[in-house]
Amino acid sequence: MSFGILTLATPGDYKKAIALALSARVSNPGVPLAVAAAAKLRPLLAPYFEHFVEENGALKGFEHKVHMDRYSPFEDTFFFDSDVLLFQDLLPTAKAWGHQVYTAIGGYQTEGYSTFGMDRKKVLKKIGKPRMAVIDGAGHCYFRKPGSTAFFELARDITARHQEYCGRIKYADEDVIDIAMTVMDLQPAAGRGFFSRHLSAKPGSLRMSALDGLCSYVEQEGAGERISVSMMHFASNEAPFTYARQMHTLFRKYGVETSGLYRNACQEFFDSEIKLRARRWVRGLLKKPDFT
Protein backbone atom coordinates (compact mmCIF):
# COMPACT_ATOMS: atom_id res chain seq x y z
CA MET A 1 0.00 0.00 0.00
CA SER A 2 1.27 3.47 -0.91
CA PHE A 3 0.24 6.47 1.14
CA GLY A 4 0.77 10.11 0.21
CA ILE A 5 -0.47 13.69 0.26
CA LEU A 6 -2.01 15.43 -2.76
CA THR A 7 -2.81 19.07 -3.43
CA LEU A 8 -3.85 21.21 -6.40
CA ALA A 9 -2.12 24.43 -7.41
CA THR A 10 -2.83 27.38 -9.69
CA PRO A 11 -0.65 30.30 -10.82
CA GLY A 12 -2.29 32.38 -8.10
CA ASP A 13 -1.71 30.04 -5.17
CA TYR A 14 1.33 27.94 -6.03
CA LYS A 15 3.37 29.50 -3.19
CA LYS A 16 0.71 28.32 -0.76
CA ALA A 17 1.06 24.82 -2.20
CA ILE A 18 4.82 25.02 -1.53
CA ALA A 19 4.14 26.08 2.07
CA LEU A 20 1.81 23.09 2.48
CA ALA A 21 4.55 20.81 1.18
CA LEU A 22 7.14 22.29 3.54
CA SER A 23 4.81 21.97 6.54
CA ALA A 24 4.32 18.32 5.56
CA ARG A 25 8.09 17.81 5.57
CA VAL A 26 8.10 18.90 9.21
CA SER A 27 5.01 17.07 10.45
CA ASN A 28 5.00 14.04 8.13
CA PRO A 29 8.61 13.31 7.20
CA GLY A 30 9.00 10.61 4.59
CA VAL A 31 5.42 10.83 3.33
CA PRO A 32 5.54 11.47 -0.45
CA LEU A 33 3.85 14.57 -1.83
CA ALA A 34 2.05 15.10 -5.13
CA VAL A 35 0.73 18.24 -6.80
CA ALA A 36 -1.57 18.54 -9.80
CA ALA A 37 -1.16 21.76 -11.75
CA ALA A 38 -0.75 23.24 -15.21
CA ALA A 39 2.42 22.19 -17.03
CA LYS A 40 3.86 25.72 -16.90
CA LEU A 41 4.08 25.46 -13.09
CA ARG A 42 6.30 22.37 -13.15
CA PRO A 43 9.61 24.29 -12.73
CA LEU A 44 8.21 26.19 -9.73
CA LEU A 45 6.63 23.24 -7.94
CA ALA A 46 8.59 20.12 -8.87
CA PRO A 47 11.50 20.80 -6.44
CA TYR A 48 9.11 20.48 -3.47
CA PHE A 49 7.02 17.47 -4.53
CA GLU A 50 7.94 13.88 -5.33
CA HIS A 51 5.24 13.79 -7.99
CA PHE A 52 4.13 16.50 -10.42
CA VAL A 53 0.89 15.58 -12.21
CA GLU A 54 -0.22 17.65 -15.17
CA GLU A 55 -3.82 18.72 -14.66
CA ASN A 56 -6.61 18.15 -17.16
CA GLY A 57 -6.75 21.45 -19.06
CA ALA A 58 -10.36 20.86 -20.09
CA LEU A 59 -11.53 21.20 -16.48
CA LYS A 60 -12.31 24.47 -14.75
CA GLY A 61 -12.03 25.57 -11.13
CA PHE A 62 -13.71 23.28 -8.64
CA GLU A 63 -14.22 20.56 -11.26
CA HIS A 64 -10.66 19.36 -10.64
CA LYS A 65 -11.69 18.16 -7.18
CA VAL A 66 -13.93 15.42 -8.55
CA HIS A 67 -10.98 14.07 -10.56
CA MET A 68 -8.58 13.64 -7.65
CA ASP A 69 -8.58 9.85 -7.96
CA ARG A 70 -7.08 10.32 -11.42
CA TYR A 71 -4.54 12.85 -10.20
CA SER A 72 -3.29 10.89 -7.20
CA PRO A 73 -0.36 8.48 -7.76
CA PHE A 74 -1.08 6.84 -4.39
CA GLU A 75 -3.37 4.02 -3.30
CA ASP A 76 -4.30 5.88 -0.11
CA THR A 77 -4.42 9.67 -0.39
CA PHE A 78 -4.87 12.60 1.93
CA PHE A 79 -5.90 15.61 -0.14
CA PHE A 80 -5.56 19.18 1.13
CA ASP A 81 -6.34 22.51 -0.45
CA SER A 82 -3.21 24.53 -1.09
CA ASP A 83 -4.14 27.07 1.64
CA VAL A 84 -3.63 24.50 4.42
CA LEU A 85 -0.75 24.01 6.84
CA LEU A 86 -0.09 20.65 8.53
CA PHE A 87 1.11 20.14 12.10
CA GLN A 88 0.74 16.47 13.08
CA ASP A 89 1.32 12.94 11.82
CA LEU A 90 -1.55 12.02 9.49
CA LEU A 91 -1.24 8.23 9.72
CA PRO A 92 -3.40 7.82 12.87
CA THR A 93 -6.22 9.73 11.18
CA ALA A 94 -5.76 7.77 7.96
CA LYS A 95 -6.09 4.51 9.90
CA ALA A 96 -9.19 5.77 11.72
CA TRP A 97 -10.83 6.88 8.48
CA GLY A 98 -9.70 3.93 6.37
CA HIS A 99 -12.92 1.96 6.82
CA GLN A 100 -14.51 4.13 4.09
CA VAL A 101 -13.44 4.72 0.51
CA TYR A 102 -13.88 8.49 0.97
CA THR A 103 -14.02 10.56 4.16
CA ALA A 104 -14.05 14.24 5.08
CA ILE A 105 -15.03 16.12 8.21
CA GLY A 106 -18.60 17.33 8.48
CA GLY A 107 -22.04 16.56 9.85
CA TYR A 108 -25.65 16.01 8.79
CA GLN A 109 -28.45 18.39 7.84
CA THR A 110 -31.99 17.86 6.62
CA GLU A 111 -32.77 21.31 5.21
CA GLY A 112 -31.36 24.76 4.55
CA TYR A 113 -29.12 26.05 1.79
CA SER A 114 -25.44 25.49 1.14
CA THR A 115 -23.02 28.39 0.75
CA PHE A 116 -23.56 28.24 -3.00
CA GLY A 117 -27.36 28.03 -2.79
CA MET A 118 -28.12 24.32 -3.01
CA ASP A 119 -31.53 23.58 -1.47
CA ARG A 120 -30.77 20.50 0.61
CA LYS A 121 -34.40 19.59 1.22
CA LYS A 122 -35.14 19.50 -2.52
CA VAL A 123 -32.03 17.46 -3.29
CA LEU A 124 -32.81 14.96 -0.50
CA LYS A 125 -36.26 14.44 -1.97
CA LYS A 126 -34.73 13.87 -5.38
CA ILE A 127 -32.21 11.27 -4.19
CA GLY A 128 -34.57 9.65 -1.65
CA LYS A 129 -32.45 10.13 1.46
CA PRO A 130 -33.57 11.39 4.91
CA ARG A 131 -30.51 13.52 5.69
CA MET A 132 -27.52 14.96 3.88
CA ALA A 133 -23.85 14.60 4.68
CA VAL A 134 -22.44 18.14 4.70
CA ILE A 135 -18.71 18.90 4.49
CA ASP A 136 -19.01 22.62 3.60
CA GLY A 137 -15.70 23.01 1.76
CA ALA A 138 -13.51 21.61 4.53
CA GLY A 139 -10.45 21.73 2.25
CA HIS A 140 -9.42 18.13 2.79
CA CYS A 141 -10.44 14.52 2.27
CA TYR A 142 -9.03 11.00 2.53
CA PHE A 143 -9.72 8.41 -0.15
CA ARG A 144 -8.62 4.90 -1.01
CA LYS A 145 -8.20 3.32 -4.43
CA PRO A 146 -9.54 1.37 -6.15
CA GLY A 147 -12.62 1.54 -3.92
CA SER A 148 -13.06 5.30 -4.30
CA THR A 149 -13.32 5.06 -8.10
CA ALA A 150 -17.07 4.45 -7.91
CA PHE A 151 -17.44 7.45 -5.60
CA PHE A 152 -15.59 9.80 -7.93
CA GLU A 153 -17.44 8.43 -10.97
CA LEU A 154 -20.70 9.28 -9.20
CA ALA A 155 -19.36 12.77 -8.37
CA ARG A 156 -18.41 13.29 -12.01
CA ASP A 157 -21.88 12.17 -13.12
CA ILE A 158 -23.49 14.62 -10.67
CA THR A 159 -21.17 17.32 -12.01
CA ALA A 160 -22.29 16.60 -15.57
CA ARG A 161 -25.93 16.89 -14.45
CA HIS A 162 -25.41 19.65 -11.91
CA GLN A 163 -28.47 21.74 -12.80
CA GLU A 164 -30.64 18.63 -12.78
CA TYR A 165 -29.65 18.02 -9.17
CA CYS A 166 -29.12 21.54 -7.84
CA GLY A 167 -30.97 23.93 -10.12
CA ARG A 168 -29.51 27.02 -11.72
CA ILE A 169 -26.86 27.81 -9.13
CA LYS A 170 -23.10 28.22 -9.30
CA TYR A 171 -21.15 24.96 -9.43
CA ALA A 172 -19.34 23.94 -6.24
CA ASP A 173 -17.50 20.69 -5.62
CA GLU A 174 -18.64 20.66 -1.99
CA ASP A 175 -22.30 20.46 -3.06
CA VAL A 176 -21.46 17.60 -5.42
CA ILE A 177 -19.45 15.77 -2.75
CA ASP A 178 -22.28 16.22 -0.24
CA ILE A 179 -24.69 14.57 -2.66
CA ALA A 180 -22.30 11.75 -3.58
CA MET A 181 -21.50 10.95 0.06
CA THR A 182 -25.21 10.94 0.88
CA VAL A 183 -26.13 8.67 -2.04
CA MET A 184 -23.37 6.20 -1.08
CA ASP A 185 -24.13 6.39 2.67
CA LEU A 186 -20.61 7.58 3.50
CA GLN A 187 -20.34 9.11 6.96
CA PRO A 188 -18.59 12.43 7.59
CA ALA A 189 -15.97 12.36 10.33
CA ALA A 190 -15.81 14.42 13.53
CA GLY A 191 -13.35 17.27 13.22
CA ARG A 192 -12.25 18.10 16.76
CA GLY A 193 -8.52 17.62 17.13
CA PHE A 194 -7.93 17.40 13.39
CA PHE A 195 -9.44 20.31 11.46
CA SER A 196 -9.25 24.01 12.37
CA ARG A 197 -9.70 27.51 11.05
CA HIS A 198 -8.07 30.62 12.48
CA LEU A 199 -11.49 31.67 13.74
CA SER A 200 -11.71 28.41 15.72
CA ALA A 201 -9.42 29.89 18.39
CA LYS A 202 -10.33 32.31 21.13
CA PRO A 203 -8.50 35.59 20.51
CA GLY A 204 -5.02 35.51 21.98
CA SER A 205 -5.00 31.75 22.60
CA LEU A 206 -3.48 30.53 19.31
CA ARG A 207 0.01 29.03 19.47
CA MET A 208 1.23 28.02 16.05
CA SER A 209 4.56 27.12 14.48
CA ALA A 210 4.59 25.22 11.22
CA LEU A 211 8.37 25.06 11.56
CA ASP A 212 7.99 23.03 14.76
CA GLY A 213 4.80 21.16 13.86
CA LEU A 214 2.76 22.84 16.58
CA CYS A 215 -0.75 24.28 16.57
CA SER A 216 -2.94 24.57 19.65
CA TYR A 217 -5.59 26.92 21.00
CA VAL A 218 -8.55 27.32 23.30
CA GLU A 219 -11.74 26.82 21.32
CA GLN A 220 -14.17 29.67 20.76
CA GLU A 221 -16.95 27.43 21.99
CA GLY A 222 -15.83 24.86 24.50
CA ALA A 223 -14.96 24.08 28.09
CA GLY A 224 -11.82 26.20 28.01
CA GLU A 225 -9.30 23.40 27.54
CA ARG A 226 -6.44 23.77 25.06
CA ILE A 227 -6.52 21.41 22.08
CA SER A 228 -3.91 20.54 19.45
CA VAL A 229 -4.90 20.10 15.81
CA SER A 230 -3.46 18.40 12.74
CA MET A 231 -4.23 21.12 10.19
CA MET A 232 -5.35 24.70 9.77
CA HIS A 233 -7.28 25.84 6.71
CA PHE A 234 -6.76 29.51 5.84
CA ALA A 235 -9.91 29.62 3.72
CA SER A 236 -11.37 32.80 2.22
CA ASN A 237 -8.15 34.78 2.80
CA GLU A 238 -8.61 34.35 6.53
CA ALA A 239 -5.88 35.76 8.81
CA PRO A 240 -3.57 36.66 5.91
CA PHE A 241 -0.76 38.10 8.06
CA THR A 242 -0.67 35.13 10.44
CA TYR A 243 -0.55 32.86 7.41
CA ALA A 244 2.17 34.94 5.74
CA ARG A 245 4.34 34.77 8.87
CA GLN A 246 4.12 30.98 8.90
CA MET A 247 4.93 30.81 5.20
CA HIS A 248 7.86 33.19 5.67
CA THR A 249 9.46 31.08 8.40
CA LEU A 250 9.08 27.89 6.36
CA PHE A 251 10.45 29.51 3.19
CA ARG A 252 13.48 30.90 4.99
CA LYS A 253 14.21 27.54 6.60
CA TYR A 254 14.13 25.70 3.28
CA GLY A 255 15.72 28.39 1.11
CA VAL A 256 12.61 29.40 -0.83
CA GLU A 257 12.28 32.93 -2.22
CA THR A 258 10.14 34.97 0.22
CA SER A 259 9.48 38.08 -1.87
CA GLY A 260 5.83 38.99 -2.29
CA LEU A 261 4.47 37.06 0.70
CA TYR A 262 3.51 40.11 2.75
CA ARG A 263 2.45 42.06 -0.32
CA ASN A 264 0.01 39.27 -1.13
CA ALA A 265 -1.16 39.28 2.50
CA CYS A 266 -1.91 43.00 2.24
CA GLN A 267 -3.90 42.42 -0.93
CA GLU A 268 -5.86 39.58 0.68
CA PHE A 269 -6.57 41.72 3.73
CA PHE A 270 -7.82 44.53 1.49
CA ASP A 271 -10.03 42.16 -0.51
CA SER A 272 -11.49 40.29 2.47
CA GLU A 273 -11.78 43.11 4.99
CA ILE A 274 -11.70 46.66 3.60
CA LYS A 275 -13.36 46.04 0.24
CA LEU A 276 -15.96 43.70 1.73
CA ARG A 277 -16.85 46.13 4.54
CA ALA A 278 -17.10 48.98 2.04
CA ARG A 279 -19.53 47.00 -0.09
CA ARG A 280 -21.65 46.17 2.95
CA TRP A 281 -21.65 49.82 3.98
CA VAL A 282 -22.78 50.91 0.51
CA ARG A 283 -25.52 48.27 0.41
CA GLY A 284 -26.74 49.38 3.82
CA LEU A 285 -26.70 53.00 2.72
CA LEU A 286 -28.75 52.22 -0.36
CA LYS A 287 -31.36 50.42 1.74
CA LYS A 288 -31.94 53.42 4.00
CA PRO A 289 -35.16 55.37 3.28
CA ASP A 290 -34.74 58.67 1.47
CA PHE A 291 -36.59 61.47 3.33
CA THR A 292 -35.51 64.31 1.03
Predicted pLDDT of residue 65? 96
Domain 3-183: give its CATH code.
Answer: 3.90.550.10
SS3 for 121-159 is: HHHHHHHCCCCEEECCCCCEEEEECCCCHHHHHHHHHHH
User: How do residues 109-164 score in pLDDT, each as one tens digit?
Assistant: 999 999 999 999 999 999 999 999 999 877 999 999 999 999 999 999 999 999 99
Instruction: Give the residue ranges of the chain where pLDDT is below 50.
Output: 291-292
- With b for 16 or more beta-carbon neighbours within 10 A and e for fewer, the 230-264 pattern comes to bbbbbeebbbbeebbbbbbbbbeebebeeeebeeb
Judge if pTM exceeds 0.85.
yes
pLDDT at 217: 97
> What's residue 276's pLDDT?
60
Which DSSP letter does residue 271 get? I
- What pLDDT is stored for residue 269 in this prediction? 87
pLDDT given at position 237: 87
Specify whether the CB–CB gap between 9 and 49 falls below 8 A: no
